[in-house]
A and B are shown apart, each in its own frame.
Chain A
Amino acid sequence: MALIAALLPIDEQRKALGEAARGHDVAWAEDWRDLLRLVKARPAVAAVADLHAERGKDGVLRIYRFSQRFPLTPILVWGDLDGRDLFRLGKAGATDVVPGADSRNRLLVEEMVVDALADQLADRLDHALRSRVRREGRTMVRSATARITEGVQVPDLATAHEVSVSTLERRCEQWGLMTPGRLLLWLRILYGLQWLLEPGRSVESVAGQLGYSSGAAFRRAIKATVGGRPTPLRNARAFESAVETFVAECPGDVAIRRALGS
């Protein structure tokens, strides 16, 4: 279940998004400023906004500011959009647009929401683990990434897989993964580091979103996994290196490694 931050003042729009994003949470913003605040304060993975949400305000400029602060968070723009709006929205960095009539096409909006919610980090980890971890293990990683913003813990994972915590630990070993506790720690760190690549997010807010008691606690967790130098915060290269370290730390399935001759 993902969280979508939305600024849609018209009831019909809210209803349409609610239906298209069934199964996900929507946090409603009051105005443009509130939308920025929401995304900063809560783990929203996508945003939706009506370009004409506030009378007298240049919505395209607000979208531009949003995309500058949250370049990795997709933003879908709704509304009656003329050619000039569409042209300017492209320059401003909108992820996609839902012009006029399309917003009444529930299937299309549903597809667009699904596209916007695509978790690229999860896809990337799945791809990187393909040569080391068997399918069941990767499915488990997927289920953990899908719930990372909900503060998922090891017992929750075990329950979701209908096994006990000790069985889950044994299975992780068989699949070539690290222990479930270590896995969740790593995933929190990787998602946190990724969010921090966006200038609009602060260490404190990201730490809070991931369930840490403070920014300092989050920093300590980073140091314990990724290391402290060079600082991995707001550092794209260090984030790439953290992903590689995570993959390397997974012991790997013996059978897969044998098959690959390593």
Chain B
Amino acid sequence: MARYDRIARLPPPAREDCFPAWLSLRDLQDHEREPELGRRARLRFLALRPLRRLLLRGLEGTSEDSLRLQVDGVRDEIERLDERDPERSRLIDYLTEIGGRSPQGLVTATLDVGAAAEGAGHSYAAEEFYRTGLELAREHGLPSQEARALRRLARVHRGREEWEAAVALGREAASVAQRAGAPVQWAMALEEVARAETGRGDRARGRAVLDEVAQRGRAEENDHLLAVAAAARCALELGADDFDLAIREGCRAVELFPPTDPHRNRALLDTAAALRRVGLWAAAEACYGVVETHSTWVEHRAEAATERAVVAAERGDAPGFRRRRERILEIVDSGDLRLRALLHVGLGRGCLIAGDVDEGREHLRLAISSARDADLESLLVSADELLMALERGQRLTSPRPRPASPESRAAAAALQDGFGARVTAGG
């Protein structure tokens, strides 16, 4: 035991002081005896190695046969993963791209695997994939991909509350996107900066950054930039408890984003959250309904379905909540731990509001187990707090809504009319 502790006590080394791709294993810190996480971390590490060697030695210095053997070896192991595993197909696509050696496709695939790792709550694995994608994009002169990698890195650092790094990377992403002539990428990079500024407690600076995006959107008459700024502002004001402003900005973003843009769904979810806080439940449910029906992202659909069920509980419609919960449970068997944790926390909260204590306890235990496995700190804290409240015998009540301003009521009505019109127009 003493010998084991000797290594465990060592601080994790910096990325540049360690062998290539080691950072992808760093999510094992304090979890090194968890076999599932260890297996996954090893697969990611092995998948990254051929690409890291390509970057280190260049195409000329790398034997094609050796590369093929490495890739085939990892592919064999990855194919043994559960077919429902969301990372499996992305890793296989990524390995195929290494074989193809098309820089553009390879960077995209590398960033995609990073996103899957990030979605599973493994921020260091995500960082290693994003950094590798970034190096590759720079090596091959792909500025748009470079900006994307930088922005995702900023998001990873923000998630770890490393605000300085998040702001710096977001700014760098914006400047690369600006040079590449990619205004939407630029706006999204600044959105990341605004989120980091807000996260570290400087909402004023966050608003100022978003104003910069909106200003450019107005000057260039670019609706997409205006939509990005409004959606980010909605999230910011929601966090600041200014629900009327959040609703106004959220409705604006929903109106400006093209219906197929996945960011529109995020804006709808945030707007719905603000609508609930001022008691405009019908409008909130309509927003969730749109996301649940139309989003192509399973995370968005799951969040919308869960929150929609919880709204029923908040409105005092316990049977309605139970019906919706049953439907969600049919789809909850997902290999994605983050998704499972998210669903169970939401349903646990709904059960507590509806007075279904036993079911609530079960949901929260499942949420805690999934959040712990995926190292999802914020979800773990939420689930722990709810479970503690339950064990203390506290009845969870829905938050008392604030009175909605006439502007919010009008915006909500317009939003619902818009959905109705779209549904009618769509047939």
Contacts and interface: CB of A to CB of B under 8 A. Distances in A.
A201 B44 CA distance: 37
B80 interface: no
Contacts of A101: 73
B22 A111 contact: no
A60 B7 contact: yes
Interface in B233-261: none
Contacts of A84: 28, 32-33, 38
Interface residues of B, number: 39
B53 interface: yes
Contacts of A161: none
Contacts of A91: 7, 10-13
B42 A82 contact: yes
Given A87-B25, A91-B13, A111-B66, A102 B73 contact: yes
A61 B32 contact: no
A107 interface: yes
Given A87-B26, A107-B63, A61 B7 contact: yes
Contacts of B65: 107
B40 interface: yes
Interface in B38-67: 38-42, 45-46, 49, 53, 56-57, 61-63, 65-66
Contacts of B33: 84
A102 B13 CA distance: 24
Nearest to A94: B19
Nearest to B29: A87
Given A58-B4, A93-B13, A111-B62, 17 more contacts: A82-B39, A83-B37, A83-B45, A86-B25, A87-B28, A87-B32, A87-B41, A88-B32, A91-B13, A96-B20, A97-B19, A99-B46, A102-B70, A107-B65, A107-B66, A111-B66, A115-B56
A101 B49 CA distance: 13
Interface in A57-96: 58, 60-61, 64, 81-84, 86-96
A21 to B, nearest CB: 16
Contacts of A89: 19
A108 interface: yes
Most buried by A among B25, B39, B61: B25
A105 B7 CA distance: 30
A105 B19 contact: no
A92 B8 CA distance: 10
A153 B198 CA distance: 67
Interface in A86-141: 86-97, 99, 101-102, 105, 107-108, 111, 115
A99 to B, nearest CB: 7
A64 B6 contact: yes
Contact of A83 (B19, B40, B56, B62): B40
A84 B41 CA distance: 9
A77 to B, nearest CB: 9
Contacts of A90: 12-13, 18-19, 22, 25
Interface size class, chain A = 20 to 34
11 contacts: A58-B4, A61-B6, A87-B29, A88-B7, A90-B19, A96-B19, A105-B73, A108-B66, A108-B70, A111-B53, A111-B66
Contacts, number: 89
Contacts of A95: 19
Interface in B360-378: none
Interface string B114-145: 00000000000000000000000000000000
A86 B42 contact: yes
A95 B17 CA distance: 9
Contact of B38 (A82, A93, A94, A108): A82
A74 to B, nearest CB: 10
B69 interface: yes
B400 interface: no
A83 B25 contact: yes
A90 to B, nearest CB: 4
B392 interface: no
A93 B11 CA distance: 11
Contacts of A105: 66, 69-70, 73
Contacts of B57: 111
Contacts of A99: 46
Nearest to B36: A83
A11 to B, nearest CB: 22
A95 B19 CA distance: 6
Task: Tell which of B18, B19, B49, B73 has the most Cβ of chain A within 10 Å.
Answer: B19
A78 to B, nearest CB: 13
A107 B57 CA distance: 13
A83 B66 contact: no
A98 B37 CA distance: 21
Contact of B22 (A64, A86, A108): A86
Contacts of A94: 19
Nearest to B56: A115
Q: For the complex of A and B, list the 8 residue pairs with the smallest distance between their C-beta atoms, beginning with the closest.
A: A83-B38, A107-B66, A83-B42, A90-B22, A101-B73, A87-B25, A87-B28, A83-B41
A65 to B, nearest CB: 10
A239 to B, nearest CB: 20
B98 to A, nearest CB: 14
A102 B53 CA distance: 13
B396 to A, nearest CB: 39
B3 A58 contact: yes
A133 B130 CA distance: 42
Contacts of A111: 53, 57, 61-63, 66
A131 B359 CA distance: 77
